[in-house]
Structure 1
Amino acid sequence: MDASRRLFDTAQGFRFILPPLAMIYLVTQITGARKVLEQGDRLSTDDAMRLVEVRDLLGGQPWYDLFQHRVLPPEGLSMHWSRYIDAPMAAIMAALDPLVGADMAARWVAVIWPLSLGVLFMVLTARLTARLFGYLAATIALLGFMTITVLFNGGFGAGATDHHAVQIILMLLLCGSLVLPDHALRRGIAGGLAAALSLAIGLEMILFIAVAGLVLVLSHALCKPEADKRLLGFSAALAVAVPLLMAGQLDPALWSVPVCDAISPPLVALTTAAFAASAIAIGAGRYLARPALRLLLLLPLGAAVALALLPSLQPCLAGPYTALSPEVQRTVLARVQEIKPALYYLINDGARSIALFYPFYVITLLYGAMVIARRGEGLVILGFLALGAVLSFWQTRMGTMALPVIAMAFGAACAWAINHGRTALRAAGLGVFAFVGLSGPIAAAFVTLTWSGSGPAEGQVALGDRCNTIDQVKRLAEVPAGIIFNPLNFGPMLLLATPHSVTSAPYHRSADAFANGILPFEGDEAGLRAAIDRTRADYLLFCAGDVYGPETSIGTELSKGGLRPWLAEVPLEGSKLRLLRVLR
């Protein structure tokens, strides 16, 4: 233990170990990177759609035009994503295009982007953890980054080009602005800017930002040193940056149009009101020296803000899927795996639970024990961990609230327990360290031994993942361009790899784009043909052999070789796909 402490618990030892750990991370990505580069594999639907947006931007689509015009043409599909992610990726793609061509440039972006973000996250996590908890904790945190599956899958693996990794990094910066003790005003401003940029990219971390704001308000109420400066800097930066960032990526004609899934007037009103309320609380705080009085002031102040904003925010309280019909919500959204509660997987999917959920909850418990033992030290980080852990039992995806701090918490908790004088705590620390590090192999062994876990959720439609790679899909580019009636998850990859238009993509702003990819495939021939006629589709696509809903469905029959007089086979030699031409 003394030798390891000398090696890892000093600044010199940590500086020595950081570059090799970053190199190990990059080496572990070689296999995944090769799959991306050689086969176009490992791209999720969001990853593919991001590359489509970037390529469209480089191809001349206007900055403010966020429509996917090849989804359900001629109307197209409105997207709520951010140009602030498209822009740096477009710069990389534009630099690579003359050297390797458009197809390989997109693949290289899908490797360079997430791995660069991974190294950046490692450096930021290491610096913050070392400052708060010491160098041994920072070293363990970096090992945790590479082994905590739920974090690593958050956007730091080869092929991940969606926006979640950037948001995780921004929320780590926000957390640092809350917990580092010096330069309160400057850190408050930095935290507000990080929060604003995260909101401009997407609203997934809005609860994390809300908790950060609550921490700052409570610090002011409890008369913490320099809390007023930090709160003022945060709220002012957020209130100024949010409308500026909205103006930078949203067509001026839409500035007054309220939406619930992106920066728009309701969010601008919220951040402005938060700043005004913070300024009032800080001003009144000069005359209210006791925490009880400050807390009493916050109650009516908060109520007034809530009442003023309720009319504009109320339509958004039901969530982003209100545009979808009740039928689509009932039959389609119920199958989306990230919307299911964690308890569903804890009961039904042992492998996923071992790889994703148990490490998350064990880290939270050990870190909570550390905070209690240290009489509240590290409480803010525990708040973010607990937020993610509790909300994951509502929807699995809400666990992402904890991802910015989970590696740091893992390092801090394990270092504390391992260095503790009590044998039981030391054993617990070593046990958590070993379990988290081996959770991936344990989950794989569980699948082998029990033939369960990591399968499709009950009732889930076939998504054709074994067919949904660039190399598989680009075979369709040889066919005359037209509209393809496609299963749900094929839409983005078809847009990326072919000139075809599509009828389905898994994005909530279009109920038809959602429903077209599932319901007609699971129904009967009449329903499928009606949907094809309605969308004016020229082709019908399947992943050969997939099951779409019941075994008797028209989609299942056609994917397994069936045919109808109004359909004709389009030969795709050696492909896993089955393409049928619609005869008219």
Structure 2
Amino acid sequence: MNDGSLARTIERDWVRLSLLAWGLIALYYVINRWTGIHFLQLGDTDDNMRLMQVRAWLGGQGWYDLRQYRLNPPVGFDIHWSRIVDLPIAALIVLLRPFVGVREAEMLACGIAPLLPLGITILGLGATVRRLVSPVAWPLAIALLAFCCVATMLMYMPERIDHHGWQLAMLSLTVAGLCDPRGPRGGAIVGLASAVSLTIGLEMLPYAAMAGAILALRWIWDRDGAQRLSVYALSLGGGCAIGYAAFASYANAALRCDALTPVWLSVMVVAGALLFAMAWTNPANRWVRLGLAVVAGGVIVAGFAMVFPQCLGRPEQVSPELAANWLNNVREAKPIYQHPFRTAFPIVVLPIVGVIGAAIATWRARGTARGGLWAPVLLFVTFAALMLLWQARAGPAAQMLAVPGSVALIWWLAPVMLASSNIFVRVFGTAAVVLIASGSFAGAVMTPVDLRWTGLNLHYSPPDRPTKRVQTINRASASCPTMTAMTPLNRISAQTVFTFTDLGPRLITLTHHNAIAGPYHRNGDAILDVQHAFKGTPENFRAIAKRHGATLLLVCPNMSESTNYRVRAPNGFYAQLAHRKTFDWLEPIDLPRGSPLRLFRIKPEQTVRHPIRLRY
């Protein structure tokens, strides 16, 4: 096959070849991470809770009932997610369990499901790069995504079954729709992708709003964009309405601010109606179009403020105490500049390069049809990069959206270097272009732990400590939630266990026991109860445990959360327990030798029992 026929094949069969590349990448990750798949190493509390949500549904819990009854029993608590991400996980379990059994079906489903949205992401980026750079440039986009977008790829790893990968996939379709030369199709893709993402969760709401603003700006600048805007408006409003009707839980029928409830549904429907009306009138004067857009934006903002004033603050609507003790300390929610340099630098390099590349490509394509496609993408990727100044959790999206600009830089500069008559320039110049334009040079200061936001110690940020202390915390946070550490608890009859907030979801996933709290804002009262119990007096702990019906106490010494209790309340119950103080109402229960956990039975008042010894 000569170069010409190879190029034609790459251009003609790009979808089939992209899916082949996705299949090979997926197979590699399944093989590479088989141990984690086999031991169900769901590293984040959200991944554990997602599996529990699927189990509850397959076990007979209603489609619209998302209350998790095994946390804070017997009433449980409502989680703000939808079931849309549960579907592929549940489908894989149902498909596989007749052949391999329930446990292996869950294990395989949790390994495979996160890789499904990766295929959509590859196709979305491929479509974008084909339109903006070259019809044969899409393999470079796949290579950059797979090898250089470290923060992004973490969201697709086996066992990462929560919603982030699917929302990133919708974001890749959004950017593809923004640069689609066919206006109605592009508008429909952006509108539907935004609607699906919002139905999953509100994390990508700023990106959805920015995409809509870009389409409105495009229409203001050129009234030929009216058809694109009108189709987008109908797709957004209609898609959100369908998403709400099909997936919103009973609890989300209330006027809450943290999900696609009637609050945000009404905003999207009204916004869609106003945008459609603007596009339908489509005045010839650009200034009139600008005026209509300003009025529509003012109506939406003012109406939101008047009708839903409770949503003007934090969407979680937690108490000031819980915000100070918990939400304000979530590391990924802090701006990127508040993170250590070795963590922040590898995250921000590629987004910066992507913005530069998109800006240069837009400038070089000015006055052409391709320039009109690059401009909205430039605005979108710049917005994504700036989101890092708000929260570091924007890193995966910012890196993924940097791929088109990075590809454009390499596609432009690499041939220049290769065409040089100087062999030094051809070899080292080309290598420098690839290393810089891909952001790969940042790897010199990156360690795997720096980008591992998926650990169970995510929700607490202890004060800076010496390196050895940090290593101790990391070891405890990694070892306590393992299957090896947790499954011996199943030898004790099912009970309610009082344990750390960050251990709650993992405990109910791996054992038949119930827990008190998980790190979810709708579980706020229970989270505060756990904090008050561990930081207060022993008598206070006992009273809170009794109120929740807890008969067992499980702790993980040196875990990040426990370290916070010991440091912030040096005279509190947990600090006393950590210093090996004994209490006559706590009865130690032996665990296997080397277990990182400590387990106690909480004795009923005025009852004395002999210690329980489990034989292994």
Query: SS of the counterpart of 2:85?
Result: helix
How many Å apart are 1:72 and its aligned residue?
Answer: 0.8
Which range is displaced more, 159-168 or 21-30? 21-30
Identical-residue share of aligned pairs (%) = 26
How many Å apart are 1:481 and its aligned residue?
Answer: 0.9
How many Å apart are 1:487 and its aligned residue?
Answer: 1.0
Which range is displaced more, 326-335 or 480-489? 326-335
Q: Which runs of 5+ in 2 are unaligned?
A: 451-456, 465-469, 605-616
How many Å apart are 1:290 and its aligned residue?
Answer: 2.2
Aligned residues between the structures: 565
CA contact 1:391–1:398 (8 Å) conserved in 2: yes
Query: SS of the counterpart of 2:404?
Result: helix
Counterpart of 2:603 in structure 1: which amino acid? L
Which range is displaced more, 141-150 or 295-304? 295-304
1:410 equivalent among 406, 409, 420: 406
Query: SS of the counterpart of 1:29?
Result: helix
How far apart in 1 are the matches of 2:299 and 2:439?
Answer: 48
**Residues 100 and 126 of structure 1: is their aligned pair in 2 closer, same or farther, counting only changes over 3 Å?**
same
Q: Which runs of 5+ in 1 are unaligned?
A: 448-453
1:535 aligns with 2:555: no
1:262 equivalent among 259, 263, 279: 259
**Residues 304 and 174 of structure 1: is their aligned pair in 2 closer, same or farther, counting only changes over 3 Å?**
same
How many Å apart are 1:214 and its aligned residue?
Answer: 0.9
How many Å apart are 1:522 and its aligned residue?
Answer: 4.3
Query: SS of the counterpart of 1:511?
Result: helix
2:313 equivalent among 315, 318, 322: 318
Give the match for residue 243 of structure 1. 241
Give the match for residue 85 of structure 1. 85
2:325 equivalent among 331, 352, 369: 331
**Residues 389 and 261 of structure 1: is their aligned pair in 2 closer, same or farther, counting only changes over 3 Å?**
same
How far apart in 2 are the matches of 1:573 and 1:160?
Answer: 29
How far apart in 2 are the matches of 1:340 and 1:35?
Answer: 32
**Residues 265 and 17 of structure 1: is their aligned pair in 2 closer, same or farther, counting only changes over 3 Å?**
closer
How many Å apart are 1:270 and its aligned residue?
Answer: 1.2
CA contact 2:78–2:251 (8 Å) conserved in 1: no
CA contact 2:241–2:265 (8 Å) conserved in 1: yes
How far apart in 1 are the matches of 2:251 and 2:346?
Answer: 46
Query: SS of the counterpart of 1:392?
Result: helix
How many Å apart are 1:206 and its aligned residue?
Answer: 1.1
How many Å apart are 1:61 and its aligned residue?
Answer: 0.5
1:350 aligns with 2:341: yes
Matches within 5 A, 1:555-570: 555-559=574-578, 561-570=580-589
How far apart in 1 are the matches of 2:141 and 2:579?
Answer: 48
Give the match for residue 231 of structure 2. 233
How far apart in 1 are the matches of 2:41 and 2:399?
Answer: 25
Query: SS of the counterpart of 1:83?
Result: coil
How far apart in 1 are the matches of 2:260 and 2:98?
Answer: 35
CA contact 2:30–2:112 (8 Å) conserved in 1: no
CA contact 1:207–1:401 (8 Å) conserved in 2: no
Query: SS of the counterpart of 2:88?
Result: helix
Matches within 5 A, 1:76-155: 76-135=76-135, 137-147=137-147, 148-153=149-154, 155=155
Counterpart of 2:124 in structure 1: which amino acid? L
Say what the alpha-carbon RMSD is for the aligned residues.
3.2
Give the match for residue 431 of structure 1. 435
Counterpart of 1:558 in structure 2: which amino acid? L
How far apart in 1 are the matches of 2:299 and 2:596?
Answer: 60
Matches within 5 A, 1:12-91: 18=18, 21-22=21-22, 25-26=25-26, 28-30=28-30, 33-91=33-91
Give the match for residue 392 of structure 2. 396
How far apart in 2 are the matches of 1:445 and 1:41?
Answer: 17
Counterpart of 1:487 in structure 2: which amino acid? F
Matches within 5 A, 1:486-565: 486-546=499-559, 547-549=562-564, 550=566, 552=570, 554-559=573-578, 561-565=580-584
CA contact 2:504–2:515 (8 Å) conserved in 1: yes
Give the match for residue 334 of structure 2. 340
CA contact 2:65–2:250 (8 Å) conserved in 1: no
**Residues 305 and 34 of structure 1: is their aligned pair in 2 closer, same or farther, counting only changes over 3 Å?**
closer
The CA deviation string for residues 491-547 of structure 1, in whole angstroms up to 9 with x for no partner, is 111121122111110001121233345453345434433432332211111124445
